[in-house]
Structure 1
Amino acid sequence: MAEIRFYHLQRQGLEEALPKLMEKVHQAGLRAIIKAENKALIDTLDKALWTYDANSFIPHDKDGCKHPAEQPVFLTATDENPNDANALVLINAASYEEIEKFDRCLYMFDGRDEVIVSQARTDWKAYKELGLEMSYWQQRENGGWEQKA
């Protein structure tokens, strides 16, 4: 059953926060799917994962690549799991049909967008009703995370 961690972005943008969390996911030996709702955002996140730190590398690729099964991190707009991921990252209230198939779900949402925040609240309630294990994390001033619930 999935453990869902809601990450409320308030101080850093997604392009800054996502790579740091993905480092932790990768270091933990997890394979991940990052789902965003559109190709433009996928391209932005792909670039962020390539360029966020000259001394670090998170192996990844995105929809349309030749070998998705070989990617530890895969960016997509679909509900497919071509890399046999055990971690799911939902970006800005993206949905996924069978979230319970993953060991862990990171639900990252932009706290500066009221539409996304409203959807995150709705999703929190829905996942809670399913009886999934959940936690809520807010960004600290320095960009780190603090568990609030």
Structure 2
Amino acid sequence: MRVDFYQLTRDPAEQVVPLIARNTLGAGERLLVVSDDEQQLARISAGLWQKIPDSFLAHGLAGGPHDARQPILLGKAPQGDNGARFLALADGVWRESEGMQRVFLLFPPERIDDARRTWRLLGQREGVERRYWRQDGGKWREGP
């Protein structure tokens, strides 16, 4: 499993998730987006419709009748019925997730201590690749 840590210093998760979603769909994968904050999920939903011009990022909220058909599913738990192998943890809270190939942990500066604990925890696990990303102006840079 690969875990990408995204430190959000400029843009909030609702602006970053559409970019991750576009790239995920472009790779032929499905995405599950998780947050305990219903208002954040609503902002992410709006961002999936509006953030990227000329892109249609079809999605739905978990618990609906067509969850299995959704390429992007938004919910409160890391169990998606859409067959996603990519998971975006939009609220910066680490959750264990079985069967995921790639996890994106998006965290704001106030959650950096939690992210560091998660980094160390995952560093002790076999088969976990970790990468750290930070915003540098308008671009994402891999860094220490």
Query: Could you tell me the TM-score, scaled by structure 2's length?
Result: 0.90
Work out whether residues 15 and 44 of structure 2, in 8 Å CA contact, stay in contact via their aligned partners in 1. Answer: no
State the partner residue of 2:20. 21
Which of 98, 115, 118 is the aligned partner of 1:120? 115
Asked if 1:130 corresponds to 2:125, the answer is: yes
State the partner residue of 2:63. 64
Work out whether residues 17 and 90 of structure 2, in 8 Å CA contact, stay in contact via their aligned partners in 1. Answer: no
State the partner residue of 1:4. 3
Query: Could you tell me the TM-score, scaled by structure 1's length?
Result: 0.88
Cα distance in 2, alignment partners of residues 127 and 6 from structure 1: 11
Work out whether residues 60 and 71 of structure 1, in 8 Å CA contact, stay in contact via their aligned partners in 2. Answer: yes
State the partner residue of 1:85. 84
Deviation, 1:125, is 1.1
% identical equivalent positions: 25
**1:66-103 superposed Cα distances (whole Å, 9 cap, x missing partner):** 2000011101101322001110111232232335x211
Moved over 3 A (4+): none
Deviation, 1:109, is 1.0
State the partner residue of 2:74. 75
Aligned length: 143
State the partner residue of 2:38. 39
Cα distance in 1, alignment partners of residues 58 and 123 from structure 2: 33
Superposed CA RMSD in Å reads 1.5
State the partner residue of 1:94. 93
Cα distance in 1, alignment partners of residues 72 and 84 from structure 2: 8
Work out whether residues 92 and 108 of structure 2, in 8 Å CA contact, stay in contact via their aligned partners in 1. Answer: no
Cα distance in 2, alignment partners of residues 68 and 57 from structure 1: 18
Cα distance in 1, alignment partners of residues 92 and 15 from structure 2: 18
Listed as ranges, the gaps of 5+ residues in structure 1 are none
Q: Which amino acid aligns with 2:83?
A: D
